[in-house]
A and B are shown apart, each in its own frame.
Chain A
Amino acid sequence: MATMTGSTRAAAPDAAPPPRRGRLLATQRRAGWILVLPAVVALVVVTVVPILYGFYLSLTSYNPVERGGPRFHGLDGYVEVVTSGAFWQAVGVTAQYALGTLMLAVPGALGLALLVNGRFPGVALFRSLFYLPRVVPLVAVSMIWLWLYSHDGLFNYVLDLAGLPRVAFLTDEDTALLSLILMRAWKALGGGMIIFLAGLQGIPKTLLEAAAVDGCGRWRTLRHVTLPLLVPITTYVVVVDLIYLAQSFAEVYILTAGGPLSSTTVVNMLIYNEAFEHYRLGNASAMAFLLFSLIFALAYLNIKVLSKGGRR
């Protein structure tokens, strides 16, 4: 709305004589600011100020239930968090969760991409089907898997059929994290597949033909031509997914609430509990910034290491 009224106002004076260069630039500049203004206001209120405020909070001790505001105590909160077992345990769980998911999802997605790269009956349908879990909201996916993992659910039925004892997938300390990983990998397949598919379709046909002329079989072409060419795109998939998975929360909250015995307490779960169950907002903020720096370092390292591997 604001843009529309603004546009008529700005257009009117310009309509008559062609304006001089200087004035034109001035109106351009003004228009630039008018166009970015709504976004800038929102960005400042919702992102910039919260990040700065959050950093301040991370240097304080703050319980919103008690009287009085945040009490500044410098790096004490960080020291407390870094020396506590809980934080590093959560980092470990998050790392296992993210890496476990990727170890299943990346090869799976690559396999699916190789499968649907080409023309065969029903290929379009298969592509959409494989992509479907990616589109469906994570919370909805969690609901479905809640049943799959339940006592009388599909997985226990399969175990019954195989003559194996039933498993309390989500409430057994040994299987809870694995169960989350399996679900998340299933959900991640489609997104990875689409990106790998784009990568596969970007490989020049001539390279594959040259390999065939040189007598490379299908497997050797795959190993020595296709896969090396996919390294950069794999880097991209891994880095983006790692950053995303490191921030997992909804499925953990719904399926296991971080339990049993913190075996699935990922960092975001810990931060949520610290802030909204124990009302330690200062320490929770410190954890958030530590997570941020870990993610940042990880992404940076990944890009460095993996892109070097691709150039070789």
Chain B
Amino acid sequence: MTVTAPAPRVGRTGWRRTIVAGIAALLVAAPFVWMLSLAFKPPTEVFGYPPALLPDAPTLENFRFVWDSTNIPVAMANSLVVATSTVLANCLAATAAGYALARIDFRGARVLFVVVLASAMVPAVVQLIPLFLITRGFPLAGGNDLLGHGGTGLLDTHAGLLLPLLVQPLNIYLARQYFLDLSPELADAARVDGAGELRIFWRIYLPLARPIVATIAVLSFTGAWEDFLWPLVVVSSPDMQTLPLALSSFAGSGATQYGPLMASTIVAIVPVVVIFIAGQRHFVQGLGSGGVKG
């Protein structure tokens, strides 16, 4: 084969674009660059003026301080517990429900789907207050009697933090859209072979749905990781704080120590970025076939 079309080469306009994009990138990335800079500066330099981009004597002191004398490690553990539980619950329950709504014809499926869609549209703040009362009045938890009186219920517990994140309507919707695109013939073939419905879901369709499971995992993890308003309402003791709460109270505690604060911010950012990069390939694929972009 002879080469007929010229190989794509970088023309002058290509490099000009690189330069324009480079300038835009400097502006967009600037806050992160300064975050890194402050996190690795010794305390004496953090308050130096004018602010220097590069630390004179880069140090891990801020990270050590965060580890030894702040609430951040505890908060990190809490956030991990809540986020991984959210991921597990959504990957199992939301995909199962999405599958049933897409592929199984059962009584009430239609109504259920409408309920799922409708509840995805209601702003979280509408549920905030009643959910707070339900959490406080949860029967037989936190010193409550059977009717939910007398104690604090699930307030200030991991279960309480987890409650509104357990199953998110949007995830059910995404899973349903994905399963609708998969061929129903696989199920028919399996039925002829005598496989039960639940086995068909678990053994045939769920493995095929890896992209949407990854998408749901990424969305639920980042959602749980960022959640702020609910933890703010439900948590009262430092031991139960999640990372966003710990960051917020750290920032609000008198004279702000920007060095350790930026170190903690990095600690809060790294897991989501890692999860996002890990899930990215599947993520894009999953959203694409779900018919939803972004």
Contact = CB atoms under 8 A, between A and B. Distances in A.
Interface of A: 3-4, 6-8, 10-12, 14-16, 18, 24-25, 27-36, 38-40, 42-43, 45-51, 53-54, 57, 64, 112, 115-116, 118-123, 126, 129-130, 132-133, 135-148, 150, 152-154, 157, 160, 186, 189, 191, 194-195, 198, 236-237, 240, 243, 246-247, 249-250, 253-254, 268, 271-272, 275-276, 281, 284-285, 288-289, 291-292, 295-296
B251 interface: yes
A24 B106 CA distance: 12
Nearest to A192: B294
Interface-central residue, A112, A147, A296, by most chain B CB under 10 Å:
A147
Contacts of B97: 35-36, 38-40
13 contacts: A28-B105, A29-B107, A36-B100, A45-B163, A46-B127, A53-B130, A115-B20, A119-B8, A120-B13, A140-B247, A195-B293, A250-B229, A288-B129
Q: How large is the interface on B (under 10, 10 to 19, 20 to 34, 35 or more residues)?
A: 35 or more
B54 interface: no
Contacts of A189: 28
Interface-central residue, B10, B163, B198, B272, by most chain A CB under 10 Å:
B198
B68 to A, nearest CB: 20
A126 B113 CA distance: 40
B100 A31 contact: yes
Contact of A47 (B35, B127, B198, B243): B127
A148 B14 CA distance: 33
A160 B50 contact: yes
A290 B179 CA distance: 36
Contact of A136 (B34, B229, B272): B272
B178 interface: no
A35 B17 contact: no
Contact of A254 (B29, B202, B248): B248
A115 to B, nearest CB: 6
A285 B112 contact: no
Q: In terms of DSSP, what is the predominant structure of the interface of chain A?
A: helix
B63 interface: no
Given A11-B196, A46-B164, A36 B225 contact: no
Q: Which 3 pairs, one residue from A and one from B, show the smallest C-beta to C-beta distance?
A: A31-B197, A32-B106, A39-B97
A258 to B, nearest CB: 14
Given A136-B272, A240-B294, A249-B228, A120 B14 contact: yes
Given A3-B92, A27-B197, A129-B25, 18 more contacts: A3-B201, A3-B202, A11-B194, A28-B105, A30-B197, A32-B104, A35-B99, A43-B115, A46-B164, A50-B126, A120-B13, A143-B261, A144-B31, A144-B34, A145-B31, A146-B256, A250-B228, A272-B232
B240 to A, nearest CB: 16
A288 B195 CA distance: 48
Interface string B183-223: 00000000110111111011100000000000000000010
B194 to A, nearest CB: 5
A18 B25 contact: no
Nearest to A271: B125
Contacts of B232: 253, 272
A250 B225 CA distance: 13
Q: In terms of DSSP, what is the predominant structure of the interface of chain B?
A: helix
Given A10-B197, A46-B164, A281-B129, A40 B112 contact: yes
A288 B123 contact: yes
B247 to A, nearest CB: 6
A31 B104 contact: yes
Given A7-B198, A137-B244, A139-B226, A42 B233 contact: no
Contacts of A148: 31, 34
Contact of B30 (A8, A30, A45, A154): A154
Contacts of B100: 31-33, 35-36
Contacts of A119: 8, 14
A188 B124 CA distance: 20
Contact of B21 (A64, A126, A194): A126
Contacts of B126: 50-51, 54, 288-289, 291-292
B24 A48 contact: no
Contacts of B129: 54, 57, 275, 281, 284-285, 288
A139 B125 contact: no
B265 A121 contact: no
Interface-central residue, A18, A34, A145, by most chain B CB under 10 Å:
A34
A288 B128 contact: yes
A126 B28 CA distance: 10
Interface in B1-54: 8, 10, 13-15, 17-18, 20-22, 24-25, 28-32, 34-35, 38, 47, 49-51
